[in-house]
Amino acid sequence: MTTDYERLAAINKDHLWHPFTQMKDYNNSDPLIIERGEGIMLYDVQGRAYYDGFSSVWLNIHGHNVPELNQAITDQLGRVAHSTLLGMANVPAIELAEKLVGIAPKGLNKVFYSDSGATGVEIAIKMAFQYWHNRGVRGKTKFITMNQAYHGDTIGAVSVGAIPLYHDVFRPMLFPSHVIPYPYAYRHEGGEAEALEATLTALRNLLETRADEIAALIVEPMVQGAGGIIVMPPGCLSEMAALCRKHGVLLIADEVATGFGRTGAMFACDLEDVSPDLMVIGKGLTGGYLPVAATLATDEVYDAFYADYEEQKTFFHGHSFTGNPLGCAVALASLKLLGERSMVEGVNAKASFVEHKLAALKDRPHVGEIRQKGLMLGIELVRNKASREPYDWVERIGVRTSLRARELGMLTRPLGNVIVFIPPLASTEAELDAMAHILAESIRNVTEGGSVT
């Protein structure tokens, strides 16, 4: 008799095509099939428990199956599940917009909803482009992005993406963007200052010579996520913002990964008191429950679209599920919990706890660097610590380490040779301790063949 697991695994193999997954490899492995979640644990159909060590791809805040969030959805479901925002409004979408404006960096007064980080980025790009057009400024049509940037997988978002493995194959169908270096500083004396200078010099040079053809700069503020959890040195973001302002180029902050407390402030921009012209949020907006994203804009951007209909300045963009009431209701409930439980305020103490717990890992022979901002960590594995020689990609050291972590009871997904640790903000110290232990054990098992007690 086939078990439920075998039945589901067979259908999964026959009919599902998974994102960012080489299906040939995947189909040769035993699939993990999640059935339920509770707190920061996920349980598979075979009854095994796992810590959600990457917040289900960086979005979970309060844990899974949270009564308050479930209730918000149930309550809204009893009213209406979906109604459009095209030319009409709904209650939770209005209330959420007010709350978002209340917590966003100052000046971001308008909220345009969508349903994923990528669509939020598309909207920001199109808004920035049309902003100049509507103002009668011609020629400001290009974008500046940063090396190894990731902003999602739709064509516009990929056009401002700069990760060769993901993006190069599509290059012929993309619009070209200017790429400046993200300030990547391997920990050595003076590294941070050099990296900061390289970024700012590149931006300054570009703006001094080409600002009249550039609509906006898009940046992952304070931490570059998919590029390998790269942390910006202090002062970089604020200086970039000042340069954009000086040269009349819009600043788009992509807070999809960093938003809602992840870096220790509500938004990473807050860490440097930066107010972008456009800000994209997603992932944690609903506590990681439902697909809602938003692009926030200043009055100045909004006003460039506000005109008599005949002037044809309307922003002709929208998605069927824009402002979905269920999603907005759970987002409101998530924001309420964030406030009531002082979750954002609690991040720095948890981050220090994790830093302390992982401190000894820095000395392991194959740990090149531990990068951290708040509860966003990347542990880079290297073949040779002294020379920083990387592991060859065919060795799939990150994948093997993550699989070992899974065997030991924690889920995560690597970025190449970087092990990602992005736990739900609700994780307790005991849970963080247990996850840190699994991280250390799996890294040591795979890179050294030993074990940490």
Closest approach, Cβ 167 to ligand PLP, in A, equals 13
- Is the Cβ of residue 240 or residue 436 nearer to ligand PLP in the bound state? 240
Answer for which of 60, 116, 147, 263 binds ligand PLP (CB under 6 A) is 116
At residue 74, the 3 state secondary structure works out as: helix
User: Does 283 count as an annotated binding residue?
Assistant: yes
User: Does 117 count as an annotated binding residue?
Assistant: yes
| Alpha carbon distance 399, 415 (integer Å) | 9
Closest approach, Cβ 108 to ligand PLP, in A, equals 17
Dihedral-angle region of residue 288 (phi above 0 means left; psi in -120 to 50 means alpha; beta otherwise): left
- Is the Cβ of residue 90 or residue 119 nearer to ligand PLP in the bound state? 119
- Is the Cβ of residue 220 or residue 431 nearer to ligand PLP in the bound state? 220
Tokens representing residue 340 in the block: 């009531």
- Residue 151 touching ligand PLP (CB under 6 A): yes
Binding range to ligand PLP, per CB under 6 A, among 23-31, 78-86, 117-125, 330-338: 117-125
Tokens representing residue 186 in the block: 């391997």
- Residue 152 touching ligand PLP (CB under 6 A): yes
| Alpha carbon distance 308, 312 (integer Å) | 8
Measure Cα distances from 289 to 65, 117, 374 in Å.
9, 14, 22
Cβ atoms of residues 241 and 251 within 8 Å: yes
Closest approach, Cβ 9 to ligand PLP, in A, equals 26
- Is the Cβ of residue 294 or residue 326 nearer to ligand PLP in the bound state? 294
Residue 330 neighbours by CB under 8 Å, 6+ apart: 69, 72, 73, 76, 286, 287, 289, 290
Closest approach, Cβ 127 to ligand PLP, in A, equals 16
Binding range to ligand PLP, per CB under 6 A, among 148-156, 199-207, 229-237, 378-386: 148-156
- Residue 147 touching ligand PLP (CB under 6 A): no
- Burial label for 138, CB within 10 Å (0-12, 13-18, 19+), is exposed
Among positions 226-285, residues that touch ligand PLP (CB under 6 A) are 226, 254, 256-257, 282
Where do runs of H (alpha helix) occur along 16-150?
Answer: 23-27, 55-58, 67-77, 91-103, 117-134
Residue 401 C-alpha from the chain's centroid: 22
Buried b (16+ CB within 10 A) or exposed e, 16-44: eeeeeeeeeeeeeeeeeeeeebebbbbeb
**Measuring CA to CA, which residue among 245, 177, 235 is closest to residue 207?**
245
User: Does 284 count as an annotated binding residue?
Assistant: no
Per-residue binding string, ligand PLP, 284-323, x by CB under 6 A, is ----------------------------------------
Q: Which amino acid is at 109?
A: N
Q: What are phi and psi of 325, to 5 degrees?
A: -60, -40
User: Does 150 count as an annotated binding residue?
Assistant: yes
At residue 142, the 3 state secondary structure works out as: strand
User: Does 320 count as an annotated binding residue?
Assistant: yes
Binding range to ligand PLP, per CB under 6 A, among 7-15, 93-101, 146-154, 369-377: 146-154
User: Does 254 count as an annotated binding residue?
Assistant: yes
Binding range to ligand PLP, per CB under 6 A, among 114-122, 336-344, 348-356, 444-452: 114-122
- Residue 122 touching ligand PLP (CB under 6 A): no
Residues contacting ligand PLP: total by CB under 6 A: 14
Q: 10 Å Cβ neighbour count for 80?
A: 12
DSSP tag of 30: P
Radius of gyration of the chain from its Cα atoms, rounded to whole angstroms:
22
Among positions 94-113, residues that touch ligand PLP (CB under 6 A) are none
Closest approach, Cβ 392 to ligand PLP, in A, equals 26
- Is the Cβ of residue 37 or residue 225 nearer to ligand PLP in the bound state? 225
Q: Which amino acid is at 15?
A: H
Per-residue binding string, ligand PLP, 193-232, x by CB under 6 A, is ---------------------------x----xx------
Tell me the HSE value of 333 on the side-chain side, using a 13 A CA sphere.
22
Answer for which of 131, 143, 150, 391 binds ligand PLP (CB under 6 A) is 150
Q: Per the annotation, where are the binding residues for pyridoxal 5'-phosphate?
A: 117-118, 254, 319-320
Q: Per the annotation, where are the binding residues for substrate?
A: 150, 283, 318, 413
- Which positions touch ligand PLP (CB under 6 A)? 116-118, 121, 150-152, 220, 225-226, 254, 256-257, 282
